[in-house]
A = this chain, B = another copy of it.
Amino acid sequence: MTVAPHKDERPTAERILDIAERLVQTRGFTNFSYADIASELRITKASLHYHFPGKAELGLALITRYGERFAQALSRIDSALPDAPAKLEAYTGLYADVLEGKRMCMCGVLAAEYETLPESMRAAVLRFFDDNQTWLTHVLAEGEKEGTLAFSGSRDDVAQTILGTLEGAMLVARPYGDLTRFTATARQLLLSLTS
């Protein structure tokens, strides 16, 4: 049991990650600075280095936390929804939620500046994509078994297509500030798998 605190503020490291996460998703990793975070948190740049020694460590922590939360969301989808089509629709909903906050998928942004990232971050980005495709492949297998999904090509290829399509739809929709640009593509995609 925890002692009831008079003020229950979240740890500084978490608040740093919150701000940095939003900045990465809207501007890109190299396009935000310690100064941006510091001014928003009302703390000095030097203090940030206490929590994250360098930008590479901060970046890795960002991807790790983002990936863990994404994995948790996928688990919730698995346990809450009855069949593969519902799960895929909920999956596209995760992306739509991100886009509604005028953000891009973190790993989609990082993929665009992949060449400039430190090696530790590169590996984490690929892991994120791999985890997504693994989950999608399982859902596709489930859908085939249920008879609720129909597609040609291997499950891996289709999983790849789903991931790429949603990342690309986000990428193009966000500059227009138009959520329906994304949802129209998501609908097209789901339709092609269920009919």
Copies of this protein in the assembly total 2
In the complex where A168-B167, A171-B167 touch, is A113 in contact with B27 (Cβ < 8 A)? yes
Q: Which of A38-46, A63-71, A75-83, A104-112 contacts B (4 or more CB under 8 A)?
A: A104-112
Q: Which residues 150-181 in A have Cβ within 8 Å of B in the complex? A: 152-153, 157-158, 160-161, 163-176, 181
A165 touches B161 (CB 8 A): yes
Known pairs A109-B113, A164-B169 / 15 extra A-B pairs, C-beta < 8 Å: A28-B30, A28-B112, A31-B113, A113-B113, A129-B172, A129-B175, A153-B187, A157-B188, A160-B185, A161-B185, A163-B172, A164-B168, A164-B172, A165-B168, A166-B168
Binding stretch for chain B, among A1-9, A12-20, A85-93, A114-122: A114-122
Can you offer 22 A-B residue contacts whose CB atoms are under 8 A?
A26-B115, A27-B115, A27-B116, A28-B30, A28-B112, A30-B30, A30-B31, A109-B112, A109-B113, A114-B174, A153-B188, A157-B188, A160-B181, A161-B169, A163-B168, A164-B165, A164-B185, A165-B168, A165-B185, A167-B168, A168-B169, A192-B192
Cα(A47)–Cα(B109), bound, Å: 33
**Complex Cα gap A122–B175 (Å):** 8
Which size bracket describes the interface of A in this complex?
Answer: 35 or more
A62 CB, min distance to chain B CBs, angstroms: 16
Whether, in the assembled complex, A74 has its beta carbon less than 8 Å from a beta carbon of chain B, the answer is no
Interchain CA distance A195-B153 in the complex, whole Å: 13
User: Are B160 and A184 in touch, CB under 8 angstroms?
Assistant: yes
